[in-house]
């Protein structure tokens, strides 16, 4: 019995020692990764710093907390640089969900410039990133394969927090990443939703803004498919090193990446859904490339209850009557009326093969895309130079 108990005690001790070693290793890897991330952010246009960084103490979680975070960017001499300040932020991974990285944001982030200051407050934050554990353990610079976040009760404040400028009931984001995507497979898929975006009641009264100054819903979706260019990391490193010193060089970098993506069978799609007042509008667009890497695709726009929307705008701003009349006259070929949806706008655009067609009619030629375009260099005396 003693031998058995001694063996069990030795086994438990061995497990504790192995667990402690693994925990210390993971804590060190996470802390090193955060420090490297801050170092990579610094360039001629952006500087980041923090007051302190520390690991966690729970044996059932790997965590890092960064305190006193400051990010400064921009060199506008009229307003001064902009500095973003956060009291803290951090990451933690539970041992029970090792592939899920939790992102811990503070309840308030502030920003200052030479002329003003602002703050953003959050009621609650639930943000996570999904990790490829194999890539993480092998030392990959970016093992993230997806991100999810829900932030509620967001307020944008000005004048040292005394004036609420904007309020958002909820922001939601979902993103998936596949760095090994082939032609036709999504490499990046992103969805963002904003619900009940409302400006301050003060501005509503001052400017007689209709619909109670509220955008009921805004949804944005983006999908990019096809192989990630093999030199993506090197080109992005060159872009950061250039830091806007030579805009033509930045254009050339993105031309190179875009051409590689198109040649590899790249394609993309974009969607937008907007609900404001009585109207719902939907926009969708696609792009792909032919054998000569020229773009072709579609764009669709629909909106309902435009008559009710126009009436509400006219009630608030009677001076817009002529502008609304001109817009309706211009869009008349694409307008119809139904009992259920009121005045409806429907537009279907196709492009490619040297032509742009709208609802089946050619409306303009499509010039060929020049993959070797270089913008003129700015002289030292030109604006912004």
DSSP-assigned states of every residue in 183-242: TTSEEEEEEEEEEEEEE-HHHHHHHT-SGGGEEEEEEEEEEEESPPPTTHHHHHHHHHHH
pLDDT at 236: 79
CB 109 within 8 A of CB 120: yes
pLDDT at 2: 64
With bands split at pLDDT 50, 70 and 90, how would you rate the model's confidence at 147?
A: very high
Do 80 and 219 fall within a single domain? Answer: no
**Where are any strands of DSSP class E within the chain?**
46-49, 52-55, 61-73, 82-94, 100-104, 108-112, 117-131, 144-158, 163-177, 186-199, 214-225, 267-276, 279-289, 295-303, 335-338, 342-352, 355-358, 361-365
Q: What is the domain count for the chain? A: 2
Do 331 and 280 fall within a single domain? Answer: yes
Average pLDDT score over residue span 87-98: 89
Range of the domain at 80: 1-172
pLDDT at 244: 60
Do 150 and 28 fall within a single domain? Answer: yes
Do 61 and 182 fall within a single domain? Answer: no
Give the residue from 172, 199, 223 where a domain finishes.
172
Contacts of 269 (CB under 8 A, 6+ apart): 221, 222, 223, 284, 285, 286, 287
Q: Is the per-residue pLDDT at 158 higher than 80?
A: yes
Entry field: residues in the chain: 385
Closest Cα partner for 71 from 102, 35, 100, 42?
A: 42
Give the residue from 142, 172, 202 where a domain finishes.
172
pTM confidence score = 0.86
Q: Is the per-residue pLDDT at 65 higher than 50?
A: yes
Do 197 and 296 fall within a single domain? Answer: yes
Do 312 and 188 fall within a single domain? Answer: yes
Do 82 and 196 fall within a single domain? Answer: no
Do 94 and 133 fall within a single domain? Answer: yes
pLDDT at 213: 93
Average pLDDT score over residue span 111-128: 89
With bands split at pLDDT 50, 70 and 90, how would you rate the model's confidence at 11?
A: low
pLDDT at 384: 45
Do 158 and 273 fall within a single domain? Answer: no
Do 135 and 190 fall within a single domain? Answer: no
Q: List pLDDT tens digits, range 251-270.
A: 888 888 999 999 999 999 99
In three-state secondary structure terms, 1 is coil
Higher pLDDT, 138 or 276: 276
Return d(Cα 55, Cα 114) in angstroms, integer.
35
Mean residue pLDDT of the chain comes to 87
Q: List pLDDT tens digits, range 74-84.
A: 765 455 688 89
Question: Is 66 exposed, middle or buried (CB count within 10 Å of its CB: 0-12, 13-18, 19+)?
Answer: buried
Range picked from 75-89, 139-153, 227-241, 283-297 for highest mean pLDDT = 283-297
Give the residue from 172, 190, 219 where a domain finishes.
172
Do 199 and 337 fall within a single domain? Answer: yes
DSSP state of 382: S
Average pLDDT score over residue span 61-71: 91
DSSP state of 375: P
Do 255 and 385 fall within a single domain? Answer: yes
pLDDT at 9: 65
Return d(Cα 34, Cα 50) in angstroms, integer.
11
Comparing 2-16, 21-35, 46-60, 281-295, the range with the smallest average pLDDT is: 2-16
């Amino acid at each position: 019995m003693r031998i058995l108990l001694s063996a069990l005690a030795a086994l438990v001790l061995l497990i504790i020692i192995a667990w402690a070693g693994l925990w210390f290793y993971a804590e060190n890897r996470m802390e090193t990764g955060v420090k490297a991330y801050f170092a990579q952010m610094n360039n001629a246009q952006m500087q980041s710093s923090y007051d302190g960084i520390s690991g966690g103490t729970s044996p059932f979680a790997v965590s890092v907390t960064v305190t006193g975070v400051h990010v400064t960017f921009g060199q506008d001499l009229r307003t001064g640089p902009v500095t973003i300040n956060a009291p803290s932020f951090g990451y933690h991974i539970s041992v029970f969900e090792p592939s899920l990285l939790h992102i811990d944001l503070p309840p308030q982030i502030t920003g200052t410039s030479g002329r003003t200051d602002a703050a953003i407050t959050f009621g609650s934050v639930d943000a996570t990133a999904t990790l490829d554990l194999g890539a993480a353990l092998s030392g990959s610079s970016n093992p993230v394969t997806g991100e999810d976040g829900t932030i509620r009760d967001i307020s944008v404040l000005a004048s040292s927090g005394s004036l609420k400028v904007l309020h958002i009931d909820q922001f939601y984001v979902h993103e998936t990443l596949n760095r090994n995507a082939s032609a036709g497979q999504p490499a990046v898929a992103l969805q963002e939703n904003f619900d009940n975006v409302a400006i301050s009641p003060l501005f509503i009264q001052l400017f007689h803004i209709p619909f109670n100054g509220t955008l009921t819903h805004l949804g944005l979706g983006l999908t990019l498919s096809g192989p990630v260019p093999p030199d993506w990391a090197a080109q992005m490193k060159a872009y950061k090193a250039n830091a806007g010193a030579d805009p033509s060089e930045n254009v050339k970098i993105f031309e190179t990446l875009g051409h590689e993506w198109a040649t590899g069978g790249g394609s993309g799609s974009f969607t937008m859904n907007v609900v404001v007042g009585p109207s719902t509008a939907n926009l969708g667009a696609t792009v792909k490339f032919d054998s000569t890497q020229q773009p072709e695709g579609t764009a669709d726009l629909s909106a309902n209850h435009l008559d009710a929307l126009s009436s509400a705008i006219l009630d608030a701003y009677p001076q817009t009557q002529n502008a609304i009349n001109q817009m309706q006259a211009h869009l008349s070929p694409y307008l119809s009326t139904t009992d259920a949806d009121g005045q409806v706008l429907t537009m279907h655009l196709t492009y490619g093969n040297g032509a742009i067609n709208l609802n089946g009619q050619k409306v303009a030629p499509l010039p060929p895309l020049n993959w070797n375009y270089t913008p003129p260099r700015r002289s030292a005396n030109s604006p912004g130079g």
